[in-house]
Amino acid sequence: MMATKILWNIMKTKSSNIMFKRWESSEKRVAMHDPFVTQPKKNKKTYLEVIKMFEDQDNRRRGHVEFVYAALAKMKEFGVQKDLEVYKALVDVFPKGKFIPQNIFQAEFMHYPKQQQCAVDLLEQMEDNKVIPDTEMEQMLLNIFGNRGIPLRKYWRMMYWMPKFKNLSPWYLPDEMPSDTMMLAKLAIERITSVDPDTKVNVWQTEEIEVSLDKTWIVSAQSEAQKILLSEQPIDEPLVVRGPYDVYLRDQIVTYFLLLGKTRADPKDDRDPDDVSDIEKPPGIPGYIGSTKLPAVKCTVHEQDDGTIVSVCATGTSSRDSLLSWIRLLEKYGNPILSTVPVIFTLTAPPNDLSIQETQPVAQDDASEKTKSNE
């Protein structure tokens, strides 16, 4: 137990410590104040201004490695960690020409290792933030480190792999994720319901239900097939609302809930798969195809082992009351059977009825958290 704790601490702090130490050590020598801290507004414009300030300060660019490390560390704070233009501005801080090796010995034994390592770290941070560099950046690195430089090799490797991975996910997400939680929830629900392309995603407001306490939105999805499966549920058997479950959209989490019903019996096929002596053949009447009867067994994708999923939703508050409103809204929009069938809420933990919790890091999310995370 203790050992894991220690290990965890080391892992958690190591990287920032190193960077911090570099900053610290150089601070003694250069003795400059941290311009990022003093900026009143933290956005891209001010960030670029600080870089500009540094470039204008000293045309010999003394202390630029320390400056780049500091700038990299502050990126999240300014919200520019995904911005290619900012990274290019940072690369531009390196002086051109000086670090290009002039002979094979320099090229072989890592000319200006600290500077090269700094540029590689910069590229590493880009990679972590999934920012694909462009060809202009290649030119800049070429002008700084020459074509034998380690940063160039890093760059080329990045340009080999990153575009390949960029669109590998079968579920498309826009480059910039929407900041609105409802739009995010819609994306998440669309992703979940992509198993049945006929699914319609609706956005409802709980205001439509007069008795609702939580006034929020509900993103609910149901396909025609699910409507029919729901309408054929036995009236005396209760439906179950299950959740909350998490779905990740890049680094953001959306919690969603399922409405489950009973599943029809498994299809029974006791034919001998090898016996072809009596293969079914269609009747010979032209125009008469198909059958007059429907299968009364499990045959749609919505019918899973633990129940038939008849609808999916995400609500603004994930509260029990909003889920109740969801059931009422489903009933209002084409599922009249819900007025007669009982619905049980089996949420894994009692949902707290606070509307939106503060954003918390992913690792600390536990099952009881009902928050639709914004970040």
Interface ranges with another protein (CB under 8 A)? 132-136, 159, 162-163, 166-167, 194, 197, 224-225, 228, 232, 271-294, 300
Say how far apart CA 340 and CA 338 lie, in whole Å.
5
| Beta carbon of residue 26, minimum distance to another protein (angstroms, whole number) | 33
| Beta carbon of residue 231, minimum distance to another protein (angstroms, whole number) | 8
How many angstroms separate the Cα of 285 from the Cα of each of 280, 281, 289, 292, 293?
A: 15, 12, 8, 14, 17
Residue with Cβ nearer another protein (97 or 273): 273
| Beta carbon of residue 273, minimum distance to another protein (angstroms, whole number) | 4
| Beta carbon of residue 236, minimum distance to another protein (angstroms, whole number) | 21
| Beta carbon of residue 133, minimum distance to another protein (angstroms, whole number) | 7
The full DSSP string for 198-253 is T-EEEEEEGGGSTT-SS--EEEEEE-HHHHHHHHTS-TTSPEEEEEEEEEEETTEE
Residue with Cβ nearer another protein (59 or 291): 291
| Beta carbon of residue 66, minimum distance to another protein (angstroms, whole number) | 30
| Beta carbon of residue 199, minimum distance to another protein (angstroms, whole number) | 11
H or E element at residue 17: helix 2-30
Residue with Cβ nearer another protein (11 or 285): 285
Do residues 313 and 218 lie in contact, with contact meaning Cβ atoms separated by under 8 Å? yes
For residue 307, give every residue at least 6 positions away whose Cβ sits within 8 Å of its Cβ, in sequence order, or none.
240, 260, 261, 262, 263
Residue with Cβ nearer another protein (40 or 170): 170
Q: Which residue has the tokens 């009747």?
A: 283
Residue with Cβ nearer another protein (56 or 280): 280
β-bridge pairing 200-205 and 217-222 = antiparallel
For residue 44, give every residue at least 6 positions away whose Cβ sits within 8 Å of its Cβ, in sequence order, or none.
78, 79, 80, 83, 85, 86
Residue with Cβ nearer another protein (113 or 163): 163
Residue with Cβ nearer another protein (236 or 280): 280
| Beta carbon of residue 229, minimum distance to another protein (angstroms, whole number) | 8
How many angstroms separate the Cα of 307 from the Cα of each of 18, 211, 286, 339?
A: 52, 30, 40, 20
Residue with Cβ nearer another protein (138 or 246): 138
Say how far apart CA 75 and CA 174 lie, in whole Å.
22
